[in-house]
Structure formats: structure tokens, C-alpha cells
Structure 1
Amino acid sequence: MARSSGISPSGKSTLITRGVPGNMKLKPFIVFAGVPGCRVADEVTSASFGSSFVEHTVQVKAWCDHAIMKEWITKIWRPSVDGCRMLLLDSLKVHKMASIRELLEDECSTQVQYIPPGVTGLSQPMDVSVMRTFKRKIEDLYVKYHTEHPFPRDAAERRVMLSYLVGKAWNLIQAKTMIKGFRQAILLPVGPRDENGVFKTYLRPLPDVSVVDEDSESDVVADQHQ
């Protein structure tokens, strides 16, 4: 899983992408700046908005917080799970929250592994190979778009344009680029498989690297003062 903040040529947004070694690519998930329930939220979550190859949502600062992470799991990750999976996450605090890890393990049959800070450029397949190519394709499409079309008149048109650019650029990412990222990160799929070729993996108990949710911390402090 990879995040890219401020990918919009103008305006604030965060892009969440994820790939696996092979032909499978999950939909990009764009987080625009906006308040849930407001005009922008209604606009970007409409079925008619932007590219059908992209999912869209809003957050006040266009950031991946706890609610956005849960939304990504519910809308993007969980529907893709058809067996045991392993998900590589960086050390962003929300990734390491106990509730997020438990949601992935208990409801998505997903084992979570964390990449240590400072080495995502070496051990995160998306950062090693995919994101550089992906961003370059977005930039090329952006330049080409403006040689044939006028600049967007307002923020609403910029959001639509970004959605289409991201969708088209993501579709241009080839399987060999994904595979290259996993190979360079030395993350090769080996291990016991069942008769259908599916890996036999087992979930581990919740490790100490997970952090307690902020709400849970508040409850503990309140109990200690009673």
C-alpha cells in the first residue's frame, strides 16, 4: 500500500494505491479536502463523478486518518480478499492502531506487516518501482491534457480532471512494473500452497508493535482516576 500526498497539480489531495505481484491492481483511492456531508463530499461520492476506475472520498485536511483508513479497508481492500493475504504498511500511526489491525485480521483474513521507518524506498514494492512510474505518467498525461484543453475554471473541474488522470495513469501501469517492485524489495511469494495454488498462511496474534487507539487511551486514563 502506498500513499502520495499533494499529487494534484493544483489543490490538496492524497492518493492511496495498492498492488500485488501479478496482474491485480486495486482501485486508486483519492482523498480530497472536504467535510463529510458537505457539497464537495456529495460531489465526489456521486456515481457520476470522475473516473469509474477510481474511488473518491473527503477528509478535512485530505489526509489518511482512522476513518479514511477504515473506509479504504471497507470499500477497496475487503472486497478484493478471496483468501489469506499479507498487507505491507508503513509506520504511519493510523496503520498501527489496534482497531485497524484487528479489522484487517478478523474481518479480512489479512496478516499485517510493518515496514520500519526510513526504508520504504528499499522494502516497499510500491515505492521501489510503481509510484515513480505512476507519478511520471500522471505528469505526462497532465501536460498532454493541457495542450488540447483549457485549464480548469475552478476547484470542481480540477477534481474531475485529477480523477480521470489518476484512473488513466493507473491503467497504464503494467504487471511487469508491479513484479519488478516486489523483486527489487526481495519480497518473493514462496511457501506452501493448497491444491488451487493459494498460499496456506496463518494469522499471528496481535503484536506489541500495534498502538492503542486514542479513544481507548482516554478510557484507561479515566478508569485510573476513578
Structure 2
Amino acid sequence: GGSSKISAGEKHSMRMTAVLTARADGTKLPIMFIMKGQPGGRIETNEVPTFPEGHFYAVHEKAWMDARVWKQFLRSVLHDDIEECSVILVDNFEAHVSEESTKIVQEELGSHLCAMPPNATSVCQPLDVGVMAPFKRHLRELWLYEEMIDSDDDDPDSLTAKQKRLAMIKRAIAAWDLVTPEIVRSSFEKALACGPTTGE
């Protein structure tokens, strides 16, 4: 998997993280969006139920991945998509490789957690190697297109924070849809050629 910070202008309240996940065969999994807000607060209670179906949503005070959100990711995004014993490749982020995380992957997902060597994500993390760049390019192209359309409006700044969050989510979903399975497969081939990873 990989994550991309998404922000609208300079407003920190609009920050969110899009966690992208893919398989070596080119299959792209649903996105997990981590919204900036108070867990159990207004965004989670009122807005999340209105967000596009088919993807997953979490709320964090800083829109970051932490141990709580990571467990939610494992039990939602990965749980229904793992059909047989698999290797889940992760970076060395503490929450990803914790004893609890390893136990969930083994006992609930029937798979193995494999951590990459420190400071190796740029060459061994498949999404970093060849997926994040085209995803971000598509994201920017879609944003520029929307800006061009919005320039015809009297006041594009009149959108509410809720509307902007929804627009950011839809834009990220569209950008992810534009990343082809061929790009994903190629990224895995390049990344896995960098050498074996160290398992936990």
C-alpha cells in the first residue's frame, strides 16, 4: 500500500490521507480515506455516511495513519479482499509491524506480514516505485480541470467545507481509477527486483 496526502489550498482542516492498496496481479483495492476531524464527531457521524460507497473512511485528529486506523484498515480494506494466504508488504512504520498487527494478519487474515528494510521504500515499495507518481499526476490534472470549470462560476470559494471534502474524495477516486493494472504490475516487478525483504 501507499498513502498520499491530499489538501485543498492552505486550509489544514481540509487535509485528508488517501491510503492506496494494490496486488501484484494489478488489482487495485478500495481506497481508505483518513479524514481530519474528531473521531466520533460531526464529520464521522454526519458526513461519512454520505461519502461514495465502495471505499472506506476513518477519522483522525491529524488525518494520519496510527495503530487504531491501521487495525481498521486491516479489518476492512484487506479482510474481504484476501482470498488465500498472501504476503502483505509494508514499510517499517511502527503501527504496521507491531506485534498486534502481525497477530491480526496471521490469525484474522491468514496471511504473512513482511516489512521492508529501513529506508528502502523508494526502491522496494511497489506503489512508491511506479504508482504514486501517475496517481498524483492524474489528481493534479483533474484538479486543474475542475479549476478551469469553476472559473466560470461567480464565486468558487462559496463551497462549504463539507462540499470541498466530498470533491476531494471524488477526485481521488477518479485518479485511482485512471491508474491502469499494467502500471501496478510493472511497479511490483521493478520493486521486487530490488532484492528480498526482511520478514518479521
TM over 0.5: same fold? yes
Q: Give runs of ≥4 in structure 1 deviating > 6 Å.
A: none
Q: Which residue of 1 aligns with 2:153?
A: none
Secondary structure of the structure 1 residue equivalent to 2:80: helix
28, 32, 48: which one aligns with 1:29: 32
Q: Which residue of 1 aligns with 2:2?
A: 2
- Equivalent residues in 2 for 1:40-59 (5 A)? 40-46=43-49, 48-49=50-51, 51-59=52-60
Give the whole-Å Cα distance in 2 for the aligned partners of 1:152 and 1:99.
Answer: 45
Distance change >3 Å, CA 137–CA 166, structure 1 → 2:
same
Aligned length: 187
**By how many angstroms is 1:22 displaced?**
2.5
Identity %: 23
Contact kept? 1:27, 1:55, Cα under 8 Å: yes
Give the whole-Å Cα distance in 1 for the aligned partners of 2:191 and 2:8.
Answer: 30
Give the whole-Å Cα distance in 1 for the aligned partners of 2:87 and 2:158.
Answer: 40
Secondary structure of the structure 2 residue equivalent to 1:96: coil
Q: CA RMSD in A?
A: 1.8
**By how many angstroms is 1:3 displaced?**
1.9
TM-score, length basis structure 1: 0.77
Contact kept? 2:19, 2:31, Cα under 8 Å: yes
Runs of 5+ consecutive residues of structure 1 not aligned to the other structure:
189-206, 210-226
Runs of 5+ consecutive residues of structure 2 not aligned to the other structure:
151-155
**By how many angstroms is 1:53 displaced?**
4.2
- Equivalent residues in 2 for 1:24-103 (5 A)? 24-46=27-49, 48-49=50-51, 51-103=52-104
147, 164, 187: which one aligns with 1:181: 187
Contact kept? 2:91, 2:116, Cα under 8 Å: yes
Contact kept? 1:88, 1:115, Cα under 8 Å: yes
Q: Which has the larger radius of gyration?
A: 1
Q: Which residue of 1 aligns with 2:174?
A: 168
Distance change >3 Å, CA 116–CA 45, structure 1 → 2:
same
1:158 aligned onto 2:164: yes
Counterpart residue type for residue 126 of structure 1: L
Distance change >3 Å, CA 116–CA 178, structure 1 → 2:
same
Distance change >3 Å, CA 54–CA 112, structure 1 → 2:
same
Give the whole-Å Cα distance in 2 for the aligned partners of 1:75 and 1:94.
Answer: 16
TM-score, length basis structure 2: 0.87
